[in-house]
Amino acid sequence: MKGTTVHYVLLSSFFCVFQLTAVMGTELPAVTHYKLNVRFQLKEQRVGIVATLSIKNTSARSHSRLPFLLYRLLTVKQVHDLSGLSLPFKQDIVQLHDEPSLQAREVVVDLRSPLKPRDSVTIMLSYDGFIFGYPEVMAYVKDRIDENYSLLRPDTYAYPVLAGPTFASVLAANDTKFTYDMTVTVPKDYRVAHGGETVDVRIDADSSTFTFRSKLPTWRIDVAVAKFRVLNNPDDQLVVYHLPQDSVGARSVMLAARDVLSFYIDVFGRPTSYKGYTIIEIPDGWGSQAGDYYFLQTAAAFTDSLRISEVYHEIAHSWNATPAGDVQRCRFFDEGFASFFEALAIQRFDGERALQEDMERSRSNFVQWGQYDPQVLNTPIAGYGLKELGRHSYTKGAWSLYVLYRLVGEKTFASIIRNMLNEFTTQPIDFKKFQNLCERVAKRNLQKFFQEWIYGIESSNLLVDKVPIADIVARY
């Protein structure tokens, strides 16, 4: 989504915290599996959770105590190890050192014996309390627990994050992947919306219990509770959870998802890793976000047909190659491609002119950023990762693919994508490999294009000077 999805943004310090992440690295062990037992008491606005964490020491040193962060109003009652013995712990409300406006509960657990490098341990934290968002830090985090709509997500530390009291440490924890399974119990008439795989649903007289597990290793868990209605398309494995008042919008969202899926399959082939798609409506202004094979979509997008392209964007991520570790933060191979595929879907459903308008919006968005921060213009796409400028892959990354698409033509472009997915789903791709692939499939030398768009910054001038696409293509 161009500027509307929040993939995980802390408003005040987006740039500095990402630089700190690299320094924090793998100092702490990592959670490899979460087992959550969640019970919502909606009238009381409370949630009670037993979280069983499998933890592996991926760091180079032993740890005799482990720090966790939770939402400030969630209180830990007990901590146990796997044998049922209770472990001593301390908890305190802290302000994150590198982001003092962010208040959280720090829980420090003493282990029975030091956790050596490569060893694992399982601990259980029982806690309960309230969630009332983070309006003072992240305007979109209005998450709460009540009878209208309840949401648990990593942004509020609704489940324990193995991190010290800094935002950099939280981001380092978010860089590690885990699997999970969970049961969620809610009062009668409520339904749990979730992006993973549904294992079981049990409806009792006063409550319902939903059992889920992760579809694949991931970095986040999202759980929403409301009187959801559900649209299902089993053939395409599409599910839309929506609020009762938005049933018309939900049908358009489902249709758009189905149509764009079949468009991408036509052009690029069926993705080997496709695991279905779940769309979960969240209240207006709570910040759309994407997980693996699901996304939380703000209510406005259910009622505003102009925002349907956000569905095109999110589903396009199923056609992403796997980027090599050192180019991943450039965000070119995920956000650049998803943004351009979104533009192609706009062309398919709304015509050539709509595509051009979309790309011009994208151009002016990039140019505006460039006026605000010159390094945006002076950094090549291949250098975005080091400077944490990956957000410009949504605009300039997409533009580079737009130029390539016009340059090699529709058919060859599709063939490049098909080959890329064949070769680089298990093997990682980088810019050099992408160039070799493009040159091989297009049977031409593309050095000047790659030099100006990927490795160099001549392309910034072409965008700033509003050079028409046909004239840009003519350069190569």
Using the contact rule CB under 5 A, the part of the chain among 189-197, 303-311, 337-345, 357-365 near Zn ion is 337-345
What is the rounded distance in angstroms from the CA atom of residue 361 to the CA atom of residue 467?
A: 14
Instruction: Quote helix, strand, coil % in the chain, to nearest 5.
Output: 40, 30, 30
Residue 394 one-letter amino acid: Y
361's tokens:
């919006």
Number of chain positions touching Zn ion (CB under 5 A): 2
3-state secondary structure 37-75: EEEEECCCCEEEEEEEEEEECCCCCCEEEEEEEECCCEE
Residues paired with 63 in a beta bridge: 115
Rounded to a whole number of angstroms, the minimum distance from the CB of residue 7 to Zn ion is 7
Q: Which of 141, 338, 382, 446: binder of Zn ion (CB under 5 A)?
A: 338
Rounded to a whole number of angstroms, the minimum distance from the CB of residue 87 to Zn ion is 40
Using the contact rule CB under 5 A, the part of the chain among 36-44, 69-77, 336-344, 377-385 near Zn ion is 336-344
Q: 3-class DSSP state for residue 282?
A: strand
What is the rounded distance in angstroms from the CA atom of residue 115 to the CA atom of residue 290?
A: 34
Rounded to a whole number of angstroms, the minimum distance from the CB of residue 96 to Zn ion is 27
40's tokens:
């919502």
Using the contact rule CB under 5 A, the part of the chain among 22-30, 70-78, 329-337, 415-423 near Zn ion is 329-337
Rounded to a whole number of angstroms, the minimum distance from the CB of residue 146 to Zn ion is 30
376's tokens:
């945006």
Between residues 76 and 338, which has the closer beta carbon with respect to Zn ion?
A: 338
Using the contact rule CB under 5 A, the part of the chain among 157-165, 185-193, 332-340, 374-382 near Zn ion is 332-340
Using the contact rule CB under 5 A, the part of the chain among 25-33, 63-71, 135-143, 331-339 near Zn ion is 331-339
Using the contact rule CB under 5 A, the part of the chain among 123-131, 193-201, 333-341, 466-474 near Zn ion is 333-341
Using the contact rule CB under 5 A, the part of the chain among 195-203, 330-338, 342-350, 367-375 near Zn ion is 330-338
Rounded to a whole number of angstroms, the minimum distance from the CB of residue 187 to Zn ion is 35
The residue sitting closest to Zn ion, measured at its beta carbon, is 338
Between residues 127 and 263, which has the closer beta carbon with respect to Zn ion?
A: 263
Between residues 36 and 290, which has the closer beta carbon with respect to Zn ion?
A: 290
Q: C-alpha angle 133/99/138, rounded to 5°?
A: 30
197-222: string of b/e by CB count within 10 Å (b at 16+)? beeeeeeeeeebbbebebbeebebbb
Using the contact rule CB under 5 A, the part of the chain among 196-204, 327-335, 349-357, 415-423 near Zn ion is 327-335
Between residues 91 and 425, which has the closer beta carbon with respect to Zn ion?
A: 425
Between residues 67 and 291, which has the closer beta carbon with respect to Zn ion?
A: 291
What is the rounded distance in angstroms from the CA atom of residue 435 to the CA atom of residue 427?
A: 16
Q: Considering the rule CB under 5 A, would residue 316 count as an interface residue with Zn ion?
A: no
The strand order across the sheet containing 238-242 reads 229-233, 238-242, 277-282, 294-298, 289-290
What is the rounded distance in angstroms from the CA atom of residue 197 to the CA atom of residue 242?
A: 18
Between residues 127 and 337, which has the closer beta carbon with respect to Zn ion?
A: 337
Rounded to a whole number of angstroms, the minimum distance from the CB of residue 335 to Zn ion is 5
Rounded to a whole number of angstroms, the minimum distance from the CB of residue 298 to Zn ion is 15
84's tokens:
């049922």
Q: Cβ(26)–Cβ(162) under 8 Å? A: no
Residue 19 one-letter amino acid: Q
Rounded to a whole number of angstroms, the minimum distance from the CB of residue 389 to Zn ion is 16
Between residues 5 and 156, which has the closer beta carbon with respect to Zn ion?
A: 5
User: Can you say how many angstroms the Cα of residue 145 is from the centroid of all Cα atoms in its chain?
Assistant: 22
H helices of 238-298, in order, are 247-268
Between residues 143 and 342, which has the closer beta carbon with respect to Zn ion?
A: 342
Site string for Zn ion, 51-80 (x = CB under 5 A): ------------------------------
What is the rounded distance in angstroms from the CA atom of residue 129 to the CA atom of residue 152?
A: 12
Place of tokens 């100092």: 27
Rounded to a whole number of angstroms, the minimum distance from the CB of residue 293 to Zn ion is 13
Rounded to a whole number of angstroms, the minimum distance from the CB of residue 313 to Zn ion is 6
251's tokens:
């049908």
| Total Cβ atoms within 10 A of residue 294 | 24
User: Can you say how many angstroms the Cα of residue 223 is from the centroid of all Cα atoms in its chain?
Assistant: 14
Binders of Zn ion in range 233-252 (CB under 5 A)? none
Rounded to a whole number of angstroms, the minimum distance from the CB of residue 317 to Zn ion is 6
Between residues 138 and 338, which has the closer beta carbon with respect to Zn ion?
A: 338
Pairing between β-strand 99-115 and β-strand 63-70 as defined by DSSP bridges: antiparallel
By CB under 5 A, name the binding residues for Zn ion.
335, 338
